[in-house]
Amino acid sequence: MNDTHKPDEEDERQAALELIKQYSSHVKDGFDDLFEGWDHIDIALVRDAIIGSATKSEIRDALSWKNPDKSDEPWCVDTYAQFSKVRFRDRHVGARADTALRRCLAVLSQSEFEALKKAMPRIEEKPARPGTYLIDVHSEDDLPRTVSKEFEDIDALLQIRDTTKAGSAGLKAAKALSEKFPNAADVIYGLLSEVRHSMSFGDDTLKFRPTIIVGKPGIGKTTVVRALCGALGVEPYIVSVAGHSDANIFGVSAGWSTAMPSIMTIAVLRQKVTNPVLVLDEIDKVRPSHNGDIFASLLSLTEPVDARTYRDKFLTVNTDCSKMSWVFTANDLSKIPEPLKDRCVVYKMHAPSQDQLPQIIRSMRDDYARERKVDPRFMPLFPDDYQVIAHDFQKRSSLRRSREMMRLLVNMRQSNLPRA
């Protein structure tokens, strides 16, 4: 590793350097992808020359004629020491960069190494935008042209940095839902306990732990989650995945005829916050597929570290999904893979008892009155109505059906009222 070499070695070294210089002008377009998953990069060496040589086959081949090895010369030691301070989110990227650096230190002299750094195009780093959904994306220009062409909401997505906060008024309103949904009191208490726990540590960002609510069909699992989120000031994004056999809900690459953004991107845009609540309904009815596995994607999205740099297939960039809340509903817990269950809090929601049913029916009537913008007192329900609905529920065990029966009975009574 000095500047004096034998003639044959010098010829080989010069040839290698010429190849590097020749191809260095063609790698600029690929630099954005080279930094995917990186933390702070503080030396031009790693940023420019080394990662380029690690990912471009021509340069890699030019440097591979000698086994990689670090020199013990001071400048090599110092260079490698600086590189060792860099922390990689993706260990595979770090391993490639390490190999490339060792090759350069083994092959090039210090003067040639400096020439390589000058030959490689420089990248101007832009300051990180804290709290954003898209990682290291500052404008539409940082995304592939196919995405910019097919997706009209990029500017809106880049501006979203707010988060939904939990407040005492919202918690109080959400807690009161236990009276409206007495059969879901344990679910409501459990979800709110997690929020209160975070607030006790000074974090008022609204976030639930990954949660599975399991119970019979039609007992109001999704309705409870929607009402709870509404009380806390957020409209959850609800997606039914029953019968889905692939992972297209997590995005399809731009350029394909079926291209579509992920449900996470849609949720961020709809709720205009980086911590949306997503509800996947009937998660136990997902069918296996070779075209991407919904459960496999959910394992990454429910793991806090992986979720921080989740690769969006449609946008082709890393996204921060770590602040999102995931709630799953299911009828049969045994059909959900164990790895996903292990990452979730599981609540068993029972069908309402005969004693709880009258209160639930009154709540349904009150909701219907608000929908019609009338006072609930003008929508009376009589003892016979309660008995009819309760008798039907005893046979069918479906609150959906009970709600429709309540509406039908109220509408019939309204139509029979005398007109002025």
Q: Is the pLDDT of residue 170 over 80?
A: yes
Per DSSP, what are the bridge partners of residue 280?
Answer: 239, 328
Q: What is the 3-state secondary structure (H, E, C) of the chain?
A: CCCCCCHHHHHHHHHHHHHHHHHHCCCHHHHHHHCCCECCCCCHHHHHHHHHHHHCHHHHHHHCCCCCCCCCCHHHHHHHHHHHCCCECCHHHHHHHHHHHHHHHHHCCHHHHHHHHHHCCCCCCCCCCCCCCECCCCCHHHCCHHHHHHCCCHHHHHHCCCCCECCHHHHHHHHCHHHHCHHHHHHHHHHHHHHHHHHHCCCCECCCCCEEEECCCCCCHHHHHHHHHHHCCCCCEEEECCCCCCCHHHCECCCCCCCECCHHHHHHHHHCCCCCEEEEECHHHCCCCCCCCHHHHHHHHCCHHHHCCEEECCCCEEECCCCCEEEEEECCHHHCCHHHHHCCEEEECCCCCCCCHHHHHHHHHHHHHHHHCCCHHHCCCCHHHHHHHHHHHHHHCCHHHHHHHHHHHHHHHHHHCCCC
**Which band of pLDDT confidence, cut at 50, 70 and 90, is reported for residue 66?**
very low
Pick the closest to residue 54 from 89, 121, 117, 103 (CA basis): 103
**Which band of pLDDT confidence, cut at 50, 70 and 90, is reported for residue 62?**
very low
Tell which CATH architecture fits domain 168-348.
Answer: 3-Layer(aba) Sandwich (3.40)
Summarize pLDDT for 232-271 with one digit per residue, the tens: 999 999 999 987 766 688 888 776 767 788 999 999 999 9
Q: Is the pLDDT of residue 382 over 60?
A: yes
Summarize pLDDT for 93-126 with one digit per residue, the tens: 566 666 666 666 666 677 766 766 665 544 444 4
- The pLDDT value recorded for residue 46 is 43
Summarize pLDDT for 349-373 with one digit per residue, the tens: 998 888 888 888 888 888 888 888 8
End-to-end CA distance of the chain: 103
Q: Is the pLDDT of residue 326 over 90?
A: yes
- The pLDDT value recorded for residue 238 is 95
Chain mean position to CA 134: 11
Task: Name residue, tokens 């007992």.
Answer: 219
Q: Is the pLDDT of residue 395 over 90?
A: no
